Structure 1
Amino acid sequence: MVRRIGPMAQLDPFIPADQCPRVRTSHHRRPVSAPAKTHYHFPMPDSLSESPVSNAPDWTVSELSGALKRTVEDSFGHVRVRGEISGYRGPHSSGHAYFSLKDTNARLDAVVWKGVFGRLKLRPEEGLEVVAIGRITTFPGKSSYQIVIEQLEFAGAGAIMAMLEERKNRLAAEGLFAPERKRRPPFLPRVIGVVTSPTGAVIRDILHRLNDRFPRHVLVWPVRVQGDTCGGEVSAAIRGFNSLAPGGPIPRPDVLIVARGGGSLEDLLGFSEESVVRAVADSAIPLISAVGHETDVTLIDFAADLRAPTPTAAAEMAVPVRADLVAEVAQLHARLRACFARGIDRRRSDLRGLARLLPSADAVLAVPRQRLDMAGQRLPRALKANAGAHRLRLTRTEGRFGPHILTTALARRREGLAAITARLPRGLSATTAAHRLRLTGAETRLRLIAQSQRDRRERGRERLENLRTRLQRCQRQQALERGARLDGVAKLLTALSYKGVLARGYALVRDSAGAPVHAAAGIHAGDALEIEFRDGRVAVQATASAPDAPPSPSRPARKPAKARAAPLPDQPRQPTLFDS
């Protein structure tokens, strides 16, 4: 819609040609300023003049909320608030975290923005007593105030112990500290993996103790044993040792030692993180925990297979004393030789006693020798009787076999063959007739199938012809509809083009950068302008500024124009006001 210039209307780039700013003139209109927040007293009727008129300003809800927000932020700024975390359910889908800080008498809403949440040294946990450092602000959407947390700290050793106790109970409920999960380390490991700092005294104590007791191949995975990254590095080291393949270029350890020297409760917090406990519980390699001194207790001690009071004691648990093993082996070898000698002597004595109880060879062979003599005496008579019996059976069998038996069998087979020969022509004729009948039926079915295929092909041809006719008719109808739509779009393009506005007597004023000028207040003396009419463009120069125009501020650097999307192919692009 085209608006004309009026005293109370905002200047529009579409200006009638007879009202365009002329060169060397100064009849620019005064810009309309925003009404000041001043209350005027208007005369009122007599019936209403008796009622008192209040001079207190009227606040909108947004103005009052903004004033309260500025007052709260200016009065408090950065604060340290101690309280217990309540209502924490983890980060929101947006990455921000929302919860509350409470004590026995009050509750304060808290929020941790996404960028700050990733940098927190202490992550929020339900029921944890902390000291929150941040700034107090208000949230006008709920008419409430809240603290925007920038840093979290433990509220003393009691809060740390409460947090560790809650984490211990929760992990114990999952069964991570169950005794049946613990395994016994090998008696003499070939490779020992140590997770500790490579520059501390702990690794030197472990290596010194191992060399004194039983030198073994030691692999050290260097980690930080204190600080924010301690828990992540220790859990990564444990999982890294477990990921080594047996027989690979780097030998897989048979036992792991996680060691650190003594320290305060805060220094040892990295070994009580949930990631470290879960890594120890999931470790397929037996693990010995040697964190701190005897009185220091961390959650890794409950999940480890063995707990050592000191790193030196962990090295003593990992390997036995080599000298003691050598002495014990020598003692066992001497006992084995003495036991073997005593066994041989006892068996030799038993063999001599049993040999005295055995009878002589003549006594043992007397009876078998007598039985052999008696069998030799009966053998000639038995052979003659056996030969006579076999001869009798052969004579009886000979009587049952003769030429007449073979002749009879041959005649019977000949008669059967003659009968089969007589039935053969009739069988062949019957078989031929049956096959001919089956062939005739198959031929009839093939004719019927061929006829049905021809009928189906004819029906398909007719259906295809109908579809082609319908397709041609649909194409013609669609072409007519698209032509009508194209005519409508062309008419709409002509109606919306600013060229039509220029054709009705209006003009378009641009500055030296080619941007449309919306108000006379923006024109200053010496500015180069360009006026576009229906039939061309004219370059002009302003000789004076608008009356009472504010001084021209330094023009900010013009932002680069966004790349315009290329018009679709086969569609004319609609000209806009900003096309030159």
Structure 2
Amino acid sequence: MTTNIPEYTVTELSNALKNVVETSFDKIIVKGEVSRVFIAQSGHAYITIKDEFSVLETICFKNVFEKIKITPEQGLEVQCKGRMSTFSKKSSYQLIITDIHPAGLGALMAMLEARKQKLLKSGYFDKKRKKQIPFLPEVVGVVTSLKGAVIRDILHRFKDRFPRKVLIWPTLVQGEDASLEIINAIKGFNKISGLEGIDKPDVIIVARGGGSIEDLWCFNDEELIITVSNSNIPIISAIGHETDTTLIDLASDYRAPTPTAAAEIAVPVRLELIDKVSSFSSRLVSSLTRILRESNKELNSVKRGLKSPEKSMDDLIQRIDFASSRLKIVMKQKIGSYEDNVLSYKIDNRDILLNLSYKFKALYFADKNFVQSLNSKISILEKNTNIIFSRLNKQLLLSKLSYYLEKFTYSIKILETLSYKNILNRGFVLIKSIKDKKPIKSARSAVKEEVIELEFYDGSIDAKVLNDLKKKSRKETYKTNLQ
């Protein structure tokens, strides 16, 4: 039996679908929100975009991805330009991106504001983290691109103002890898110890010329902001023109409006310093001259009111001679008095030895008497103890213990007989409240509970109260009373 339905192999159908899709959607622009970005080791970027109802997988090959100004991030609204194709091994379709950019400035600014608020709450923009810029640094580190006029302007400004030693760490200042290179440069400057023969910078300038928000986007990188804030070396940011503001400007220790201004902030003008030093020197000399002149006048006026030093010295010499002669007489008198006292209190060594011998004998006899008295008292205690033990009647103690044990056993049996658990063994149930575990004694109390606990002889269960209170009839009450 013949039919007009075409027949395909899997490969033939995949190729036919691929041809239809690629022909129908050769050049398109798709707008959506980035939900996932994965960059493979090959450098190709796999980006998932979505809208309210659908999801689309895209691929951006390495040679295209390297030229994109803005690295796609999760949550960013983008417009992807490219062509549709299929991937037969997974029976899926995808967009091959040839260009990608934010879906309007508003989407990019919204993402920038969200990141700014996040870093602000984390404290990376706090003033207490700001470090003071040194007045005259010995070494200045510069992080920028070697291409363009920025580095030439900075070096020229240093030369005009105050020549300093400059260490340049060349990096990209635009594109996907720019932020990572700038991070490595800042960390590299901080790791310099001076032992390698390279002086550690006293201040770092991160600079770039003007550009669009997409061109300057690498300076809004979150990891870069954290690195700048945590740097031990003060950092001056000089990104774009005065109207351009990036997140690195908020995290740096000082924000310069332009790269040239950053050089002016980093070092003072040498000629101005020389003029100031000369001015201060001349003012210091004139001040010292005036002070010396006034001090000389005061010295001369004081000198006229003072006595002659020679006359004062003669008087002091005479007083010292008189005191010296008096000291000799007093010393002789004191020494004689001490000699008389020593002779009057002189003691014979023989008397000392006799006294010590007497004291030693008295101590010996006192120790001997104490030991004898102690031994006697111990013997008396041992005898009294033996008498007490011999008088004890062991049989009487055992009979008393047996009597109290029987009494204790009898009490336990009475408690077991009166226990409510024996009643539960006969088929009765104890109803308790779930809330306070107290017994419920009436139906009126039971209906107030939504759930009650029923305790049987072998365990407890919870029960739900379904019916309202049912009052007994008079006949039932009468029968109950008769029983």
The aligned residue for residue 54 of structure 2 is 108
1:342 aligns with 2:342: no
Q: TM-score, normalised by structure 2?
A: 0.58
Residue identity matched to 2:165: H
Pair 1:299-2:247 in alignment: yes
In structure 2, which of residues 334, 345, 348 is the aligned counterpart of residue 401 of structure 1? 348
Which residue in 2 is equivalent to 1:263? 211
Q: How much does 1:323 deviate? A: 0.8
State the secondary structure of the residue aligned to 1:221: strand
Q: Distance in 1 between matches of 2:331 and 2:157?
A: 92
Q: Which amino acid in structure 2 is aligned with residue 111 of structure 1?
A: E
Contact 1:197–1:225 at 8 Å: present in 2 too? Answer: yes
Change beyond 3 A, Cα 1:357–1:76: farther
In 1: Cα distance, 2:123 partner to 2:137 partner: 28
State the 1:394 CA deviation: 4.1
CA contact (8 A) 2:35 2:48 kept: yes
**Segment drifting more, 315-324 vs 164-173:** 164-173
Q: How does 1:227-242 map to 2 (within 5 A)?
A: 227-242=175-190
For residue 214 of structure 1, what is the aligned residue in structure 2?
162
Who is 1:333 aligned against? 281
* Structure 1 counterpart SS, 2:345: helix
Structure 1 residues 346 and 149, CA, compared in 2 at 3 Å: closer, same or farther?
farther
Aligned partner letter, 1:317: I
For 1:299, give the aligned amino acid. L
- Larger relative contact order (Cα-Cα within 8 Å, sequence gap ≥ 6): 1
Q: For residue 286 of structure 1, report the CA deviation from its aligned partner.
A: 1.7
The equivalent residue for 1:323 is: 271
Displacement of 1:330 = 0.8
3-state SS of paired residue (1:153): strand
The correspondence of residues 365-404 of structure 1 with structure 2, limited to 5 A, is 373=322, 376=325, 380=329, 386=334, 389-398=337-346, 400-401=347-348, 404=350
Matched, 1:80 2:11: no
- Cα distance, 1:71 vs structure 2: 9.3
Q: Which amino acid aligns with 1:253?
A: P
| Aligned residues between the structures | 354
SS at 1:171 equivalent: helix
Query: Residue 249 of structure 1 corresponds to which residue in structure 2?
Result: 197
By how many angstroms is 1:321 displaced? 0.9
Segments of structure 2 that go 5 or more residues without pairing to the other structure are 366-483
Q: SS where residue 249 of structure 1 aligns?
A: coil
Letter in structure 1 aligned against 2:54: L
Distance 1:364 1:233 in 2: 82
What is the CA–CA distance in structure 1 between the aligned matches of 2:239 and 2:107, rounded to whole Å? 21
Whole-angstrom CA distance in 2 between matches of 1:406 and 1:172:
92
Aligned residue type for 1:109: V
Q: Report the CA distance between 1:364 and its aligned residue.
A: 8.8
Answer yes or no: is the 8 Å Cα contact 2:34–2:47 preserved in 1. no
Seen in structure 2, the aligned counterparts of structure 1 residues 68 and 278 have a Cα distance that, compared at 3 Å, is farther
Q: CA deviation at 1:368?
A: 9.2
Q: Residues 406 and 326 of structure 1: is their aligned pair in 2 closer, same or farther, counting only changes over 3 Å?
A: closer
CA, structure 1 residues 364+411, in 2 after alignment: closer, same or farther (shift >3 Å)?
Answer: closer
- Distance (Å, rounded) in 2 between the aligned partners of 1:327 and 1:279: 39
> Aligned equivalents of 1:303 and 1:73: distance in 2?
49
Q: Which amino acid aligns with 1:153?
A: I
For residue 320 of structure 1, report the CA deviation from its aligned partner.
0.9
- Aligned-residue RMSD, C-alpha: 4.8
**Is the 1:96–1:117 contact (alpha carbons within 8 Å) kept by the matching residues of 2?**
no
Offset of 1:354 from its aligned partner? 4.2
Deviation at 1:327, TM superposition (A): 0.8
The answer to whether 1:272 aligns with 2:220 is yes
TM-aligned CA deviation for residue 189 of structure 1: 1.3
Distance in 2, matches of 1:128 and 1:191, equals 41
In structure 2, the partner of 1:428 is none
SS state at 1:166 partner: helix
The question of whether the paired residues in 2 share the 8 Å contact of 1:260 and 1:311 is answered with yes
Which one of the candidate residues 169, 179, 186 is aligned to 2:127? 179
Q: C-alpha displacement at 1:317, in angstroms?
A: 1.3
2:148 is aligned to 200
3-state DSSP class of the match of 1:107? coil
Q: Is the 8 A contact 1:72 1:136 kept in 2?
A: no
